[in-house]
Structure 1
Amino acid sequence: MSLDHRLAPEHEELRRTVEEFAHDVVAPKIGEFYENHEFPYDIVRQMGEMGLFGLPFPEEYGGMGGDYLTLGLALEELARVDSSVAITLEAGVSLGAMPVYSFGTEEQKRTWLPKLCSGEMLGAFGLTEPECGSDAGGTRTTAARDEKTGEWVINGSKCFITNSGTDITGLVTVTAVTGRKPDGAPLISSIIVPSGTPGFTVAAPYSKVGWNASDTRELSFSDVRVPGENLLGEEGRGYAQFLRILDEGRIAIAALATGLAQGCVDESVAYAKTRRAFGKAIGENQAIQFKLADMEMRAHTARLAWRDAASRLVAGERFKKEAALAKLYSSEIAVTNAREATQIHGGYGFMNEYPVARMWRDSKILEIGEGTSEVQRMLIARELGF
């Protein structure tokens, strides 16, 4: 396949549009939302009006007819300015709407996707549990069929779930054990739980290190009843379905991490040109120049990695290894660039009024969410035959 990742005119137009939105709309406002731990509803509404939540979905469901490359471009440009806004989009699309599109019935798609694509509604992805973490196959949440009504009765809990408790959250797709295989292994299925369903409790927002303008909560399910037709995909295939969703989502997280890494470069270059010490701009010092050169090298390489993985996904080729490579590399260099950007800014880099302080706080979770760095290395090793 071609490794030419120069953008087509329509992709470049989208990238520029989101870049302008990020700088003109997000940048002036997001600091206050971040400091107050508030969800930026107005910004999210404008993102919906721009069609960003519908980027990779067909027009027949209210989408924009794009693909994962277009989604990645939008995520990268948003994350150059702020990761809370970017992760709200990433989770809303990759984790909230994509399972419905990929595995849902036609009725489920037509019921949920138009509102999810417009940003009028957010969806969430209920996979992680308090005692499981990376061991998603160890799911303890259960869903049993009521033989009289045909309903699913769900009991259990989920943690660290993005977009799960906003005023516009409409559904959470949860994984639950719905039976056992002959060898005793769990059959895990995916079930759509609409917000507000009796017995479905959303906890208060977490107090987080970063992503403070995004919504992250713990969920609990106590005899939650939903119709039998809320099963998403085949019964017993929920774990496999979500592994596929995570493979795709790693490309999106890689794009987001690349944006954060590039944002660190942007802010540090501007600062190094204006900050003066010992009678000259600090950017005239070769030590600073070399830091910036290394930061740019990392961001550029990460961009090539996620675009390569996205291109393979769009072309219908195998992309599992490339997605893991992109996610692993981009998340780790995002942490490195954020640390270096803070160092270049000195004491000001430790002050929340400077964007690099947010970037420093936001970067670490990228090595953890949607598969830790250790999990990515495991996946890559498996693809190498081990």
Structure 2
Amino acid sequence: MPRTVFNEEHEAFRQMVRDFLAKEAVPHLQDWVAAKSVPRDFYRRLGELGLLGMEVPEEYGGGAQTGHHFGAVLAQEVARAGATLGTAMTHSNIILPYLLHFATEEQKRRWVPGCVSGDLLLSIAMTEPGTGSDLAGIQTRAALSEDGSHYVLNGAKTFITGGTQCDLVLVVCRTSPAPADDRRGGLSILVVDAASEGFTVGRSLHKIGLHASDTAELSFTDVRVPAENLLGEQGGGFSLLGRNLGRERLVIAVQAAAAAEAAVTFAREYTRDRQVFGKPVASFQNTKFVLAECATEVEAARLIAYEALERDARGELSPDYAAMAKLFCTETASRVIDKCLQLHGGYGYMLEYPIARLYADTRVMRIYGGTSEVMKTIIAKSIGL
């Protein structure tokens, strides 16, 4: 199907990314999986190619692009190659926008160029051992010193993407008690230097998938955070999170649609080559019908993801449409990838095949960025329920 949302510049970028992944990512995949992370030098290489700051203004070293279209191309090519960029897309597409949209000019000049070059890696710490989607229940606390020069941060976080390699962590914490009429009030975001005394990286967590993306537990014991590292206004953290969640859900929707599209390609090629009862698996009616269903679902997912892309570029992506895109694309990806794995038979269960990695890697898309159940709640409210 024609990619009407992409122009010639996007397609030239696509070819560059495709060549780069074939030479510098795919050959190292198994080593990265074994190490449970991607080397720092690879992130710097991404920075050299401009892949970490495509939407960052030129004055901070970025590409000054509007919208997520180049990011979508990158996601499609990573899925197509069965490759990984570690935590790079979380760093650049989900966390870096917090600095671009909400940091002061001084903060931007201090942090953003290093984020674009790959010299500074970002994490965001929201989830706690006892608090998942309900961020109002956050217990990590930061108290402002009497002279107002710094905060003292205490608490623990879990499921933190990039937690073992990060240089800066955006920590969502409670800086004041929640008002009786707003349990989300009193939350703030502090940018914490990972070299701070009292900051500890705990266990590197073992996940079902995303094995080359490090995920960790973090703890903070009397960590002194300079007051100038407050992002936005004190007590306004939840508002910042809400304003950025639409983009996060768009990114996940695009990645899910790309994964589903890649799964159909993998299954089509495998069933053409695989012989059963003396003929290709692709020649059986069941195979044709299954892949026809999958191709149709992928086209629908792609269209809603592309519409979300266009709305985002125009500044018109509403919370309910972002939720619809994430819900539909992630649920579709799960169904499609499962069917495509089944067509691989026993080999589909082997991690040396990209369909198996897709199956494991995409499962979490229905959880992070807001679970499918949370997306349904948002959509229900938008239709008056």
Question: TM-score, normalization: structure 2?
Answer: 0.94
Secondary structure, counterpart of 1:112 in structure 2: helix
Greater alpha carbon shift after TM alignment, 21-30 vs 257-266: 21-30
Secondary structure, counterpart of 2:156 in structure 1: strand
Matched residue, 1:325: 324
Query: Unaligned regions of 5+ residues in structure 1, if any?
Result: none
Matched residue, 1:289: 288
Secondary structure, counterpart of 1:180 in structure 2: coil
Select which of 167, 170, 175 maps to 2:172: 175
Matched residue, 2:95: 96
Conserved 8 A contact 2:164-2:215:
yes
Aligned mates of 1:304, 1:159 — CA distance in 2 = 34
Instruction: Please give the per-residue CA displacement for 1:17-71, whole angstroms capped at 9, x wherever unaligned.
Output: 2233334432232134224534344543332221111011111111111132222
Change (3 A) 1:275 1:188: same
Change (3 A) 1:284 1:40: farther
Aligned mates of 1:50, 1:300 — CA distance in 2 = 30
Residue 224 (1) aligns with residue 223 (2): yes
Matched residue, 1:77: 77
Greater alpha carbon shift after TM alignment, 24-33 vs 280-289: 24-33
Residue 364 (1) aligns with residue 353 (2): no
Residue 110 (1) aligns with residue 100 (2): no
Matched residue, 1:59: 58
How far the C-alpha of 1:383 sits from its partner, in A, is: 1.6
Greater alpha carbon shift after TM alignment, 233-242 vs 34-43: 34-43
Conserved 8 A contact 1:173-1:192:
yes
Conserved 8 A contact 1:80-1:261:
no
Conserved 8 A contact 1:211-1:362:
yes
Aligned mates of 1:43, 1:289 — CA distance in 2 = 40
How far the C-alpha of 1:82 sits from its partner, in A, is: 3.8
Aligned mates of 2:112, 2:64 — CA distance in 1 = 13
What aligned pairs does 1:189-200 form with structure 2 within 5 A after superposition? 189-200=188-199
Query: Unaligned regions of 5+ residues in structure 2, if any?
Result: none
Residue 258 (1) aligns with residue 257 (2): yes
Conserved 8 A contact 1:76-1:257:
no
Greater alpha carbon shift after TM alignment, 253-262 vs 211-220: 253-262
How far the C-alpha of 1:101 sits from its partner, in A, is: 0.9
- The amino acid of 2:193's aligned partner reads P
How far the C-alpha of 1:182 sits from its partner, in A, is: 4.6
Matched residue, 1:14: 13
Residue 187 (1) aligns with residue 186 (2): yes
- The amino acid of 2:167's aligned partner reads G
- The amino acid of 1:122's aligned partner reads L
Instruction: Please give the per-residue CA displacement for 1:332-386, whole angstroms capped at 9, x wherever unaligned.
Output: 1211122112111101111111111111111211110111100111111122222
Conserved 8 A contact 1:205-1:215:
yes
Conserved 8 A contact 2:6-2:69:
no
- The amino acid of 1:75's aligned partner reads A
Instruction: Please give the per-residue CA displacement for 1:125-183, whole angstroms capped at 9, x wherever unaligned.
Output: 111111111101211111110113521111111111111211xx220011111113552
Aligned mates of 1:258, 1:35 — CA distance in 2 = 27
Conserved 8 A contact 1:173-1:191:
yes
Matched residue, 1:130: 129
What aligned pairs does 1:342-353 form with structure 2 within 5 A after superposition? 342-353=341-352
Change (3 A) 1:326 1:180: same
- The amino acid of 2:73's aligned partner reads L
Instruction: Please give the per-residue CA displacement for 1:206-225, whole angstroms capped at 9, x wherever unaligned.
Output: 01110000011111111110
Conserved 8 A contact 1:306-1:326:
yes
Aligned mates of 1:47, 1:330 — CA distance in 2 = 27
- The amino acid of 1:78's aligned partner reads V
How far the C-alpha of 1:78 sits from its partner, in A, is: 1.2
Residue identity (%)? 37
Change (3 A) 1:21 1:258: farther
Conserved 8 A contact 1:321-1:380:
yes
Instruction: Please give the per-residue CA displacement for 1:187-219, whole angstroms capped at 9, x wherever unaligned.
Output: 101110011111111113101110000011111
Aligned mates of 1:314, 1:6 — CA distance in 2 = 11
Aligned mates of 1:38, 1:147 — CA distance in 2 = 41
Aligned mates of 2:22, 2:81 — CA distance in 1 = 7
What aligned pairs does 1:204-243 form with structure 2 within 5 A after superposition? 204-243=203-242
Change (3 A) 1:83 1:125: farther
Aligned mates of 1:40, 1:326 — CA distance in 2 = 32
- The amino acid of 2:173's aligned partner reads A
Aligned mates of 2:63, 2:163 — CA distance in 1 = 24
Change (3 A) 1:41 1:261: farther
Change (3 A) 1:384 1:83: farther
Conserved 8 A contact 2:127-2:157:
yes
How far the C-alpha of 1:83 sits from its partner, in A, is: 6.5
How far the C-alpha of 1:81 sits from its partner, in A, is: 3.0
Aligned mates of 2:317, 2:256 — CA distance in 1 = 22
Conserved 8 A contact 2:142-2:173:
yes
Greater alpha carbon shift after TM alignment, 192-201 vs 26-35: 26-35
Matched residue, 2:164: 165
